[in-house]
Structure 1
């Protein structure tokens, strides 16, 4: 089987996108992003601290990809729904206003991640399931 054929599962990474919905609330969508896709970004940074925003509702400070390298987290959105982020699942933080989301580490006490801020107006390449 050729893994370079369009439409095969190996051509995508699993992704979850946080979004704003009416009344400045937050929800999420499950989907994917294509591999080998150029992202319009000029820098990235890494973070390991988990004490600053864990369990505190907050919106994303900017549109960004969040790439988890180590850790397993439960995210909760405004309506109480939850999802799990762990290595292999890309988080696209697009909930830049309102209540935002919370998160908590559910396995261990570490979250190593890389943030890739997206340029204003650029496509995040997310494809909803």
Structure 2
């Protein structure tokens, strides 16, 4: 079996979704998103700068997918729980209210990522575990 054939056998990508709770605290859920789905987004942008928000609590500025290309990070949410984001795990940032989340680089010195902002009423396609 070729690597192309192997790639076609997996129908989902691992994902973690940041969410707001009723009191605007931030939490997360683990799950997946289906591959080969259209996302209703009008643009994307890349970013490597980590100096402005590393270690500082903040909500997502908008609902968006965050695709890590390089780096390994530990994210923390309001109640102190943590999770790891690295290449191969899609982050869906839906925590647009309250204190938000924090993150820190735990492996490497850079966080290369692509942001795909979601249109206002677009489903994020997330399926919880």
| TM tier, smaller | over 0.9
Give unpaired runs (5+ residues) of structure 2.
none
- After superposition, the C-alpha distances for 1:99-123 in whole angstroms (9 at most, x for unaligned) are 1000000001100000000000100
Matches within 5 A, 1:69-88: 69-88=69-88
CA distance, structure 1, for counterparts of residue 31 and residue 23 of structure 2 = 24
Q: CA RMSD, aligned part only?
A: 1.6
Mapped to 2, the partners of 1:4 and 1:57 lie a distance apart of: 37
Gaps of 5+ in 1: none
Q: Distance in 2 between matches of 1:90 and 1:104?
A: 17
- What residue in structure 2 maps to residue 48 of structure 1? 48
Using the alignment, how far apart are the partners of 1:49 and 1:4 within structure 2? 31
The one-character-per-residue Cα deviations of 1:4-41 (angstroms, maximum 9, x if unpaired) are 99xx6x10000000000021100000000000000000
- TM-score, normalized by length of structure 2? 0.93
1:45-71 CA distance string (max 9 Å, x none): 000001110000000000000000000
Aligned length: 126
Shift of 1:3: 6.5
TM-score between the two structures when normalised by the length of structure 1: 0.93
1:3–1:11 contact (8 Å) kept in structure 2: no
Alignment of 1:116-127 (within 5 A): 116-127=116-127
Q: Distance in 1 between matches of 2:100 and 2:11?
A: 30
